Amino acid sequence: MTSIDDETHEIVGVDKDGVFKIIDNITNTISDMCRPQIFPNIGVNTIDGKSVIVINIYPGANRPYYIKSLGKETGTYIRVSGTSRPADEAVLKDLELQGTHRSFDEMVCVEHKYDAGKAEQLCGAIKRYMVEAAKSNSEKEKIKDVTIQNLINWGVVRNMDGTLLPTNAFVLLTDNVFPFAKIQCALFKGTERVVFIDKRDFEGPLYEQIEEAYDFVLKHINLGAEIKDLVRNEAYELPTEAIREAIVNAVTHRNFLDRACVQVAVYDDRVEVTSPGMLYGGLTIEQIKEGGSKIRNRCIAEVFSRMRIIESWGTGIKRMFSSCREYGIRDPELLEIGDSFRVNLYRPSYSGNEAQSSPKSSPKSSPKSSPNGLNATQQKIMQMIRKNSRITQAEMAEIIRISRRAVQKNIKELADQGIVVHEGSTRNGYWKIKE
């Protein structure tokens, strides 16, 4: 008997007298079929006078969970785009590491020997990043040398009875010989992955890959300029902080067991950053938007934190969204594509025209701007005012999904151009368009 009809989704309910027997049967079935043992949270709700059984199964720590009769290799399933499919070898190994509370990067790399010279170079690179990130000379002077003991403490090097052994993190942060631990960058013509205009593969230490991929994107997006207080200020059409965060997150949290590379693709309408591996540890997209964070590669994350490549745990996605809203552009799009994770940053300069303006031209003067010189956000504001002259700035921000500060900035520009004025008081006034 079912609580809700599968086809119509109508509430059917279950027999009130037999509800606890049904719950017992469900609990026993789950216990008998699955390994390790799962403890579901099962209760009864009353909806429209009908009894409905509600089953919650929360992410467990003893991954992977599998169908006992099929075994771990063939009975482990994952959810992909609303469907269930068998976990492949890379996903299964990643789940096994999660179940033993280990990460790939902290494991000893048995194929390599410890190289003291490379270790010293890594220590020097980490300190250099720390010094460059310091905000004052006094802060720079307080930064101490990074030592081999630091690398041991951070799990990058393993000390086994006096013998130093390199971990996978050590290899990834030095010569990096792993064939799929690289970033593939491409510039495409149009909005589909069909025609290449430029293509580069970046290898070597992970932190260097991040810088090179970041520079690749900046090279291929528009750079505009505006005059403010007699000073020329240059700004890219996308917030550079959001671009950098997307690339850093893709590298830091990727699944290195997956035989795929981080990919950064620039299209006419968007910048697309794809990372191998599903969200880690049962995290959902909604949770990471709210600051939820679980670290797949703990050693790399620790080093990146020291280097200030990562600012602080769980803030990257939120900063990405806030920086786009400050720019007055569309929110980033977060997607799980099969067993990978993708971030789309949408370019405001795109209007469907095939021709691209020069990367050094101003977005305001590019052919993608509207004929009257208004950007996309300002055009939306004008449309909303035409429909409702008493709409508030808070309502505009909610509809466009940008910050109220971004709305205020765009309205000020419209007012400075004499296009929009506000008549009456702040609470009871209305907008008037001068056309």
Same structural domain, 61 and 206: no
CATH of the domain at 420: 1.10.10.10
Contact 38, 31 (CB under 8 A): yes
Digit-coded pLDDT (tens) for 300-337: 999 999 999 987 666 789 899 999 999 889 999 999 88
The phi and psi torsions of 421 (rounded to 5 degrees) equal -130, 155
In a domain, 393, yes or no: yes
Digit-coded pLDDT (tens) for 344-397: 999 998 866 443 333 333 343 333 334 456 776 788 888 889 888 888 887 887
- 258 has a pLDDT exceeding 60: yes
Token duo for residue 109: 């790399």
- 160 has a pLDDT exceeding 60: yes
Same structural domain, 166 and 197: no
The angle, 0 to 180 degrees and rounded to 10, between the axes of the packed helices 404-416 and 393-400 is: 110
Range from 69-73, 152-156, 372-376 that averages highest in pLDDT: 152-156
CATH of the domain at 279: 3.30.565.60
Same structural domain, 255 and 336: yes
Same structural domain, 108 and 148: yes
In a domain, 245, yes or no: yes
Same structural domain, 315 and 195: yes
Range of the domain at 377: 370-433
- 19 has a pLDDT exceeding 60: yes
Q: Please, how many CA atoms are within 13 Å of residue 382, restricted to the half-sphere of its CB?
A: 18
Q: In 110-198, where does DSSP find H-type helix?
A: 116-133, 137-141, 148-153, 168-172
In a domain, 429, yes or no: yes
- The domain boundary residue, chosen from 172, 207, 231: 172
In a domain, 42, yes or no: yes
Question: pLDDT value at position 51?
Answer: 83
Question: pLDDT value at position 89?
Answer: 78
Same structural domain, 216 and 114: no
Query: What's the pLDDT band for 229 if we cut at 50, 70, 90?
Result: low
Of 373, 368, 375, nearest in space to 350 by CA: 368
Q: Looking at the 3D structure of the chain, how many domains does it have? A: 4
Same structural domain, 342 and 285: yes
Query: What's the pLDDT band for 403 if we cut at 50, 70, 90?
Result: low
Could you tell me the pTM of the whole model?
0.68
Q: In 156-294, where does DSSP find H-type helix?
A: 168-172, 206-219, 240-252, 285-289
In a domain, 400, yes or no: yes
Same structural domain, 402 and 277: no
Same structural domain, 252 and 400: no
Same structural domain, 293 and 341: yes
In a domain, 403, yes or no: yes
Query: What's the pLDDT band for 53 if we cut at 50, 70, 90?
Result: confident
238 DSSP 8-state letter: S
3 state SS of 38? coil
Of 82, 35, 67, 58, nearest in space to 282 by CA: 58
Where is pLDDT greater, at 351 or 54?
Answer: 54
Percent with pLDDT over 70 in the chain: 89
Question: pLDDT value at position 178?
Answer: 94
Same structural domain, 312 and 210: yes
In a domain, 61, yes or no: yes
Query: What's the pLDDT band for 243 if we cut at 50, 70, 90?
Result: very high
3 state SS of 368? coil
Question: pLDDT value at position 218?
Answer: 92
In a domain, 352, yes or no: no
